Amino acid sequence: MYLEFQGCKFGARCIHKHFFEEILSFEMSQFGHVSAVNLRGQSNLNNLWSSQSWRCYCLDGKMNTLSFASSDAMGRKLKSPSANAFMTRSRKDVPPLKVVCIDYPRPEIESTVNYLEASYLSSTFRNSPRPNKPLKIVIAGAGLAGLSTAKYLVDAGHKPILLEGRDVLGGKVAAWKDDDGDWYETGLHIFFGAYPNVQNLFGELGINDRLQWKEHSMIFAMPSKPGEFSRFDFPGVLPAPLNGIWAILMNSEMLTWPEKVKFAVGLLPAIIGGQSYVEAQDGITVKDWMRKQGIPDRVTDEVFIAMSKALNFINPDELSMQCILIALNRFLQEKHGSKMAFLDGNPPERLCMPIVDHVTSQGGEVRLNSRIQKIELNKDGSVKNFVLNNGSTVEGDVYVFATPVDILKLLLPEDWKEIQYFQKLDKLVGVPVINIHIWFDRKLKNTYDHLLFSRLYS
């Protein structure tokens, strides 16, 4: 990210003292590490000031350390080449102010094995022979699962009809605009580098620029120390899994050295054994796995409660360790796996609508306010049609449910409840989620714009 004035030449990045002090008060919540990491390698000049003139400061690859006067750069310091790098100019020449924000560059994830596999699988839909008679496929639910299903079906030459009971797209990533124009989202949504299918989808839709990438760090709020944070910084010069191991070893707030060793030893089977080891941990809860490794409950309470809630909205004594290891294993196996990005706006408009546009441009349909009331069956037990709340019916050649399990349970026909396959649904329990949006009356200080996990004790 950098700040610039219109009219500055030769890559100069200048800004007036009073405005810069105002920006610094945003700190990480708005502009990231303006005074440090975000500038490194992205701009040639950054500003220091005096009360009577503009002062620009030069940055290059050979730097000493410098901090902004009167600024708290969250522990990050500016780097400078020498004490003679100042230049000044009169205020009389100051052009209109222009602020330009640049995020961290997109990581090189297209060459990873997982991304290449996802890209190849997606291409098989587009490159497969066109069907002589396209199937009419009715999909229940316009969350990301239903939307992506419709996208790949039209790519394969079929005609999906996507039904959404609500008046908004997105499902778990839905959002609503209030009367003031502010968006209310259903929680925070992170797009990791280790999400090959989603990253490939962004690329196919031509919306990679809508992801705002952050520095490669995992940042935790510390419940026992309000206002303080613990960082796991992944150095870009190291390959995986060394960058992840380094991040764990260099963290001094959340893990003691004996705990680091125990945790690292516990992760070795996942690193070496891969997915087979991960799947074998399905019957072990997060808390039991941690205790088995000799990791104290304090670490589970400070780190993995938040992680468990973020992944599945349940506690570590209920969540399978497989879920945690799937994420950790991917993060450790891929250099940029744990690097995160955020969408540059609300998901319905910035992510869901491009999928809808793609689907409808290829002959598919997306219908909002089309809630399913009943699944009507033929005499042989196959689906005859979906009956909607308004009494109309929707027929197709194939039917797909892409909804939370509770909705399918409510609509499951009586004849199907005796079938062993559908009886397995009884073991699947949905987890209700409540999102609370808090609006503050002033700028927040001492925080980050990509805090990964945070929890408060009531």
Burial 299-320 (b: 16+ CB within 10 A, else e): bbbbbbbbbbbbeeebebeebb
Give yes or no for residue 248 having a pLDDT over 60: yes
Confidence of residue 300 (pLDDT cuts 50, 70, 90): confident
Domain boundaries defined on the chain: 4-98, 113-193+200-206+344-427, 215-338
d(CA 227, CA 234): 22
- 113-193+200-206+344-427 adopts what CATH topology? FAD/NAD(P)-binding domain (3.50.50)
Q: What are phi and psi of 159, to 5 degrees?
A: -120, 90
Give me the phi and psi of 143, to 5 degrees please.
Answer: -80, -170
Distance CA 325, CA 392 (A): 46
Are the CB atoms for 172 and 144 separated by under 8 Å? yes
Q: Do 338 and 218 meet the contact criterion of CB atoms below 8 Å apart?
A: yes
Closest CA to 414 of 375, 444, 447, 453: 375
Q: What percentage of the chain exceeds 70 in pLDDT?
A: 76
Residue, of 444 and 93, whose pLDDT is higher: 444
Q: Which range among 2-6, 40-44, 84-88 has the greatest average pLDDT? A: 84-88
How does pLDDT run across 179-200, given as a tens digit for each residue?
Answer: 888 888 887 788 999 999 999 9
Straight-line distance from the first to the last Cα atom of the chain, in angstroms, rounded to the nearest whole number: 36
CA distances 313 to 94, 212, 284, 336, 402, Å, are: 52, 25, 17, 25, 19
Query: DSSP string of 362-430?
Result: TT-EEESS--EEEEEE-TTSSEEEEEETTS-EE--SEEEE-S-HHHHHHH--GGGTTSHHHHGGGG---
Centre a 10 Å sphere on the Cβ of residue 425 and count the other Cβ atoms it contains: 15
pLDDT of residue 265: 81
* pLDDT in the model for residue 272: 81
Strands, sheet with 393-394, edge to edge from the N-terminal-most edge strand: 372-377, 383-388, 393-394
Q: Tens digit of pLDDT for each residue in 117-164?
A: 999 999 999 999 999 999 999 999 999 999 999 999 999 999 999 999
- Measured CA to CA, the distance from residue 430 to residue 407 in angstroms comes to 9
**Rounded to whole angstroms, how far apart are CA atoms 452 and 254?**
14
How far is residue 162's CA from residue 256's CA, in Å, rounded to a whole number? 51
pLDDT, averaged across the chain: 78
Q: Are residues 308 and 324 in contact, defined by beta-carbon separation less than 8 angstroms?
A: yes
- What's the confidence (pLDDT) of residue 273? 78
The answer, yes or no, to whether residue 255 has pLDDT greater than 60, is yes
Q: What is the pLDDT of residue 413?
A: 96
Mode of pairing for the β-strands spanning 191-192 and 340-343? antiparallel
Share of residues in the chain with pLDDT > 90 (%): 47
Peptide bond into 223 cis (omega under 30): no
pLDDT > 80? residue 230 = yes
d(CA 324, CA 332): 12
Residue 77 predicted with pLDDT over 90: no
Which of 62-76, 298-312, 418-432 has the least mean pLDDT? 62-76
> With the CA atoms of 85, 91, 93 and 97 taken in that order, what torsion angle do they form, in degrees rounded to the nearest 10?
90
Question: What pLDDT is stored for residue 71 in this prediction?
Answer: 35
pTM of this structure: 0.75
Residue 375 CB contacts under 8 Å (≥ 6 apart), including other chains: 383, 386, 387, 399, 411, 412, 413
Predicted confidence (pLDDT) at residue 405 exceeds the cutoff of 80: yes
